[in-house]
Structure 1
Amino acid sequence: MLNPLSLVSPPALRAALRDRLTFRAKLTAAFTALFFCAGAALLIFVTVLARQGTMEQFARITMDHTGGPTAPQPTSSTSLAPVSPPGPDRAASTPGPGPAASTEPWQKAEDARLARVEVNNRLQETAVRQMVVWSAVGLAVMAVLSGAMGWWLAGRALRPVRKVILAARRMSEENLHERLQLTGPQDELRELGDTYDTMLDRLERSFTSQRRFVANASHELRTPLAAQRTSIEVGLADPLPAHLIPVREDLLITNREAEHLIAALLLLARSDRGLDETEDTDLAELTRQAADELSSLAAERTVVTTVHTTPLSVNGDPVLLKHLASNLVRNAIQYNHPQGTVTVRIDDARRLTVTNTGPRIDPTRVDSLFEPFRRLDRDRTAVHGHGLGLSIVRSIATAHGGTVTAAPVPAGGLRIEVRLPTTR
């Protein structure tokens, strides 16, 4: 059976391991590797020098005690004798014990010297070996200690970066006022924190300006729209020629849709600002009320609405929560087909789920549903609507600390799930 790791090339494996390591782990590994390489180089340098130095020292001591590998000096009696070249006759007529007897003391001295050299070499090898072993043990222990110290130092050095990461995770439209305000020396990490705070300043100004513009524009447009509707109703009041009756109805419908759009924009701006006052509210009761109010729309489109709820207490804004449920149910009824169904459920897991029938939806395009003024396809735009319903739902859920997810139904339609915390 093949090992899965054998199918991965070494460069790919190294890249995968490098990507899985945190920066703190990488910094610790760099500290440890640097210390280990420096310690290993120092150990090799000391070992080579110690070996060379001890060899020279042992050789010098041996030469001092043995006189070196030279032949024994002649005695005084033989120093006065004439030296004649060796030859057969001279060798035969020379008195004395013979060559073997004359070289025996020199051979013993040489053997003793060689024995001492051998012992010295063994002592040297033993000393060098012990030095290498214990140095390696010390190097390993110090490498572990340096790794632990490097981990601690990396943690202290990266503490401001950790604060930036945690602040970025907490950041949302509701807490853009928070700042890091790092203290300490004016180094790169302090500069990173100051840059992050400056970025939050720009974002806060941008969001505040956007919300103020939407709210002010919506308020300013409500008055002329109301005046326009009154003018249409008065100016085109009965009796009216038959050919102008459809024109009046179209103008009134357009005016009504514009008013709905303005009301939706105001609601979106209000939910984006967050919650001013909260109270304990039963979301299940609000959901049933919203379904009852939309029953006429469901009957007009021949859509059957079914509601299954259990009590769900939420601490929040009752008006916004009512709009959340109403927008979910209205969206499910509007973007449906005749004889379709809408199922509204609040289960024991404290989830509000709305599921409807309808055309099949591409899963890759579901997220765009929550963008303002965005719809998926022609079938979903062939109805009246302003494209803000699900944007309002997500904004209200976010203001209450909740989440909204959507998933297409395999047979067609959409399933939207809202999770809200029970306490804030």
Structure 2
Amino acid sequence: MALSRIPFRTRLALAFAGLFLLAGTSLLAFVVLLARHGTAEKTAGISVSKTPATPHSTASPPAPWESAHPAGATPPARPPAGHTRPGAVDGTQSEAIALVKQTAHSVQITALEQMLLWSVIGLVLMTVLAALTGRWLAGRALRPVSVVTETALRMSEQSLDRRLALTGPDDELHRLADAFDFMTDRLQRSFDSQRRFVANASHELRTPLAVQRTTIEVGLADPLTDDLAETREDLLTANREAEQLITSLLLLARSDRGLERTQKVDLAQETDTATSDLRHVAKEKGIALHTDSDAPERVTGDPVLLRHLVSNLVSNALRYNRTDGRVEVRLHGRTLTVTNTGPPVAPDRIEDLFEPFRRLARDRTGTTGHGLGLSIVRSIARAHGTDPHAEQGPEGGLRVTVRFP
């Protein structure tokens, strides 16, 4: 496994263990070499000397030449008094010195082997303990980073009010948490400003548009010439489209703010209501609209927003469809699926359709709309704790699925 694939916490623990192992091995080698050198010097100076007999001794050890012999055997002649066998004492002393040195060397080797054996065992155990301790310390040290990561993953446009508010010393991790909180403050102010602007602008534009529509209807009342009548219809059409755009912007701004009040909603009933309002549109376009739902399911949410979610999904499916196509609305449990027919959409372009004012106008046959339908669907779905999923339909078009929690 490549080093880059190992988690940082594990790498830090392994670094602690490796450093401890290197330092322990160096210390062990240093101690063993010094101990061996020191014992070698001490044993090199060992000598053996003959100890004279004390006055209280009653017997003296037999001379080297007085060895045991069988009964009746004639012992060898004892050397005359004052005569010493050449090399007798020196040979015995040399043998004793050699024996002592050999014994000291054996003791030295055995002591070094035992010290080395138990030192290696202790070093291995301490290395494992250092690795475990290093992993625990790394986890403690990196806990603020984990908190930052978890908060960032849970954060969205609707939950920008979360803050870390990390306490403790003013170190690198504390400054990282403060920078994260400061960035979140700026994002929240930016999103709040954007939502307020959209909502206020939409409210302010609805009044002049209503006045404009009334003026057109009154000022260009019948009887009119054919040219003026056509002009009036064009103006009224443009006015209605502008009102629809403003209504959509208001709905988008409202869903972006999240759910202010929730209640138990009959999802099947809201789906039937939304699709029933659009059946005349499907009939005018020559599109078959089929609905299928099982036992009613109740979800927690805003009934008005949920109705708009279904309505926008079905409207989008009718708008971007072929003349003899069809739309299928299926509700099974808490899963809503809307499928339409039409020109296929490239998989890499599907995600773009959920962006505001984004349309594939040349690829999709619809000529009306402002590109807000699926954006509103996503915003409402996220306000209810879910996210829509879109994919290519079996006969072209799109299949959009929303699974409510």
Short-chain TM bin: 0.7 to 0.9
Which of these residues, 35, 38, 41, is aligned with residue 50 of structure 1? 35
Look up the match of 1:326. Answer: 311
For 2:17, the aligned partner's letter is T
Paired with 2:331 and 2:356, the residues of 1 have a C-alpha distance of 26
Listed one character per residue, the Cα deviations across residues 192-247 of structure 1 (whole Å, up to 9, x for unaligned) are 11111111111110010000000011111111111121222222222222223322
Asked if 2 retains the 8 angstrom alpha-carbon contact of 1:66 and 1:113, the reply is no
Q: Deviations over 1:304-357 (max 9, x none)?
A: 111111212111111001000100111111111121111111114x21111111
Query: How do residues 19-418 of structure 1 correspond to structure 2 at under 5 angstroms?
Result: 19=5, 21-60=6-45, 62=46, 64-65=47-48, 102=86, 106=90, 109-310=93-294, 311-348=296-333, 350-380=334-364, 382-418=366-402
Q: Check whether the contact 1:284–1:309 (CA below 8 A) recurs between aligned residues.
A: yes
Greater share of residues in helix: 1
Residue identity opposite 1:412 in structure 2: G
Distance 2:286 2:86 in 1: 134
How far has the Cα of 1:395 moved from its partner?
A: 0.6
The letter of the residue matching 2:160 is L
The alpha-carbon deviation at position 122 of structure 1 amounts to 2.2
Counterpart Cα distance in 2 of 1:297 and 1:66: 125
- The alignment partner of 1:152 has SS state of helix
Alpha-carbon distance in structure 2 between the residues aligned to 1:267 and 1:381? 25
- C-alpha separation in 1, matches of 2:102 and 2:49: 14
Q: Does 1:14 align with 2:2?
A: yes
Within 2, Cα distance between the matches of 1:263 and 1:386?
11
CA distance in 1, matches of 2:302, 2:2: 53
Distance 2:377 2:145 in 1: 34
- Offset at residue 150 of structure 1 (A): 1.5
**C-alpha distance in 2 between matches for 1:200 and 1:208:** 12
**What's the secondary structure of 1:337's corresponding residue?**
coil
Query: Helix, strand or coil: the match of 1:380?
Result: coil
Q: Secondary structure at the match of 2:364?
A: helix
Could you tell me whether the CA contact under 8 Å between 2:287 and 2:323 is conserved in 1? Answer: yes
The separation in 1 between residues aligned to 2:109 and 2:49, in whole angstroms, is 22
1: CA distance between counterparts of 2:43 and 2:8?
52
Partner of 2:61: none
For 1:238, the aligned partner's letter is: D
Residues of 2 paired with 1:56 and 1:249: CA distance? 116
Kindly indicate whether the alpha-carbon contact (under 8 Å) linking 1:360 and 1:410 is maintained by their aligned counterparts in 2. Answer: no
Q: 1:14 corresponds to which letter in structure 2?
A: A
* TM-score, reference length from structure 2: 0.87
Deviation track 1:96-146 (CA, whole Å, cap 9, x = no partner) reads: xxxxx8567645544443343333222212111111110011111111211
**CA shift at 1:295, angstroms?**
0.5
Deviation of the 1:297 alpha carbon: 0.9
Deviations 1:144-171 (A, max 9, x none): 2112221221222122222212211221
Distance, in Å, in 2 between the alignment partners of 1:239 and 1:107 is: 151
Q: Which amino acid aligns with 1:22?
A: P
Give the equivalent residue in structure 1 for 2:78.
none
Offset, 1:174: 1.9
Aligned-partner SS, 1:24: helix
Q: Aligned residues: percent identity? A: 55
AA aligned to 2:121 is V
Aligned-partner Cα distance in 2 for 1:108–1:359: 113
Instruction: Please give the alpha-carbon distance, in whole angstroms, between the structure 2 residues aligned to 1:105 and 1:303.
Output: 128
Aligned to 1:71: none
The RMSD of aligned alpha carbons is: 1.8
Tell me what 2:73 maps to.
none
SS at match of 2:391: strand
Query: For each residue in 1:28-81, what CA deviation from the matched residue of structure 2 results, as whole angstroms up to 9, or x when unmatched?
Result: 112111111111111111111111111111212x3x3379xxxxxxxxxxxxxx
Name the CA distance, whole Å, in 2 between partners of 1:35 and 1:44: 14
After alignment, is 113-122 or 204-213 more displaced?
Answer: 113-122
Alignment partner, residue 96 of structure 1: none
Hey, what's the Cα distance between the residues in 1 that align with 2:341 and 2:187? 40
Q: Distance in 2 between matches of 1:304 and 1:56?
A: 105
Amino acid at match of 1:197: D
Q: Is the 8 A contact 1:361 1:413 kept in 2?
A: yes
